[in-house]
Structure formats: structure tokens, C-alpha cells
Amino acid sequence: MRTLGWRWTDLTDHFVRVIFTLMTMLVSGAAFAQSSVTLYGIIDTGIEYVTNIGKQKSSAALVPTLTATLPSRWGIRGNEDLGGGLKAVFVLESGFAPQQGTMNQSGRLFGRQAYVGLSGRWGTLSLGRQYSQIFWGIPGDTLAPNIYSAGLLDPYLAAAPRVDNSIVYSFSSSGLSFGVAFSFGRDAVAPAAAGGCAGQSPTDWRACKAISAMLKYEAARWGLAVAVDRNYGGAGSGSPLPSSSQTDTRGVANGYVKLGNVTVGTGFLHRINHGLQAPGVYDVNSNYWWLGASYLVVPEVILDAQFGKLNVAAHPVGASVIAARAMYLLSKGSAVYVTAGRVFNQSKGIFTVDGGTAGTSSLPMAGIDQTGVMIGIRHFF
């Protein structure tokens, strides 16, 4: 007699495998639903024209390296729901120069941000390379980090300050935000001349440390914020702060108000710098203020303008900046723009209109004004 091609035990084994597979898929699907990972980025570039460069006061057309209306970047952010309102969070973010495809932030792979932490009803605690709290405490700057803006007068702000080896606590609720950050060694990659430091020191508890704090409130039509940021020296010869006994401290108060389709922002920053603030200028205070506005003409067109002024106590090394921008939104992710600015240097001021620092090719001679115009395109993804 002919037998069937299967046995009851075979059918049972097959059924068990099917159930196991379905359970695995359900468990995997549930785990995936509790986690989220997002790839995001900005690419923003264009062509600018700059006047009064160097001793010859020459002009040049070029593609800027660092920024346009926003610095180009790509990143990965994610979170995992751990239950009970607790989440694990992380961000890895890389800055790059689109005209060359090279990395910014002294060649770091994730030079903009690289941190991991826990977030819950009590706030967020994170560790890694992170923004100083002064970055989150300037909502009244309506134009920065545009290539031409009042932020040119304090390159530290224009470069979006970040610190290595940091621990950050932040909390937000009902429009109120608070944050505090401490770095065990704020930098170990950037050169000393650019403000870098030697990183964590086992022998000098102050060397290269950084602390910052921020308090902010934002309502539907207005916002106010205060922040303080202090960097300790210790990088040695060639640094603006060679000794750990030297500090560079900034305190800022600013805000904005929305009047229909117009947003007006203003702020004041006081700086106490015990190191090198300008060539031959040590241990001085400075005051920097700005006033700007943004106007949504129609849903596709935004106009911006801003004025800023920096005064350094007893030294003519400050400057004023006036800047403007017109942007046309092609979609939610893409836009084209034209922007212009002019820096008015005091007799010994050497600020460049496109955000460079001492030693860059676009630097003017001391006391010489400079104009920049740029047309560009940006895309969010």
C-alpha cells in the first residue's frame, strides 16, 4: 500500500515553525515601533563677490567654504522608547564644505554633534560633543548664521560653539527651557590659534574646561532668553588663552516679538576676555548689540535685515555690520536667495564681511570697510 508523502509529526513541526516565525515578526515589529532613526541634512552653497581684500584692496568672486544661509551638514538622530516615559536618544552630525566635499570642524567626522543620553519627564541628560548652551540662548538673532549678519562681530557665535567631553542637562516645559553644560576638556582637535585647547588634563583641573547655562521662555508671539558661557584657557603658546588661569566669558540677553508677518529681534552681549581679543589687545571687555527684522511678504518670499555694533573698551578694534537677505521658497525643502552685507571697521578693526578670521584670504586691512554679495541655493532633506 502506498503511503502519503508526509507524516503528522512533519505537519506539527511545520506548524510550530510558522508560529515561531510569526511571533518573531511580531516581536521585531513591536521593537521597531518603539525605536526611531532619522537621516537628515542641509546643503547650502552659492557664489559670492567680496571687495577690499588684502593690501591691494582687490575684489574676488568665490564659493564660500563654511556657510551660506545655513552651514551644510548631514546627520543621524534616533531614540528608543525604554518604557515609563524614558527614552534613549542620540545624535551624530557631520559638517561639510559642499564645494569640495571635505569635512569642517577641523576634519572631524561628526564635528557638529556626537552625543548619547537619556530623556524623560525630568528632562534630558546627554554626554559627548555638544553645543554650548549659549547657542540655544540666542532666539533674538533673526538672521544668523547667514554668511552676512551681525554675528560676524563675534566669530565664536557665528561658528555655533560646541564643546568636547561634555555633559549636558536640559529641560523644557510649556515654553520654558533651561540648560546647563560642563566640559571636562572643550577641544582637542582644533588648532590653538583658532581657539582650540589641549583637551582633558589630568594635572590641571581648570585647563580647557567650559561651562554654560541658559534660561529661555517662548510664547506664541514673543520670546526672551539669557545665557552665560565661560571657556578656560590652557592651550599654551599660540592660543588666545594660553594659561588655565585665563577665562573668556560671555553673557547675553535677547529676545524677539512677532507683529503680524514681521518678527523683530534684538540682543545685547557683554564679554570679559582675559586673553587675546584682537592683535595686541589683551584683558579687555567688550559690548556687542544687534537689531534685526524678518518680514514674510507672501508665503514664498522672506525679507531679512539686521544691524550690529561691537565696541571694545579703550581700543578701536570694533566694527559695525549691516546685512540683508531676500529668499524665495521653491518648496518646503528648497529655496534660492540673494544676500548682501557691509562691515565698517574701526581704525584697527580687521573684521571680514564673509565670516573669515585672521589669516583667511578674504581678510581686509585694518580699518578698511568691506562689502559682500552672494547668490545661492539651499535644500533640506
Cell of 334: 528648497
The tally of domains found in the chain comes to 1
- Bond prior to 145 in cis (omega within 30° of 0): yes
User: 157 phi and psi, to 5 degrees?
Assistant: -70, -40
Q: Does some domain include residue 293? A: yes
pLDDT tens for the 381 residues of the chain, in order: 444 444 434 434 554 454 445 444 434 444 444 789 999 999 999 999 999 999 999 999 988 887 789 999 999 999 999 999 999 999 999 999 998 899 988 899 999 999 999 999 999 999 999 999 999 999 999 998 999 999 899 988 877 799 999 999 999 999 999 999 999 999 888 887 777 887 788 889 899 999 999 999 999 999 999 999 999 999 888 888 899 999 999 999 999 999 999 999 999 999 999 987 777 777 889 999 999 999 999 999 999 999 999 999 999 999 999 999 999 999 999 999 999 999 999 999 999 998 764 446 788 999 999 999 999 999 999
Please check whether residue 183 lies inside any domain of the structure: yes
Alpha-carbon distance of 149 to 342, in angstroms, equals 9
Residue 20 lies in a domain: no
Q: Is 85 left (phi over 0), alpha (psi -120 to 50) or beta?
A: left
**CA–CA dist 357, 285 (Å, integer):** 20
Place of cell 543621524: 76
Report the alpha-carbon distance of residue 345 to residue 144 in Å, rounded: 20
Whether residue 58 is contained in a domain is answered as: yes
Asked whether the beta carbons of 123 and 169 are under 8 A apart, the reply is yes
273: domain range? 50-380
Q: What is the CATH number of the domain that holds 77?
A: 2.40.160.10
Cα–Cα distances in angstroms (integers) from residue 267 to residues 288, 293, 332, 343, in the given order: 8, 12, 29, 19
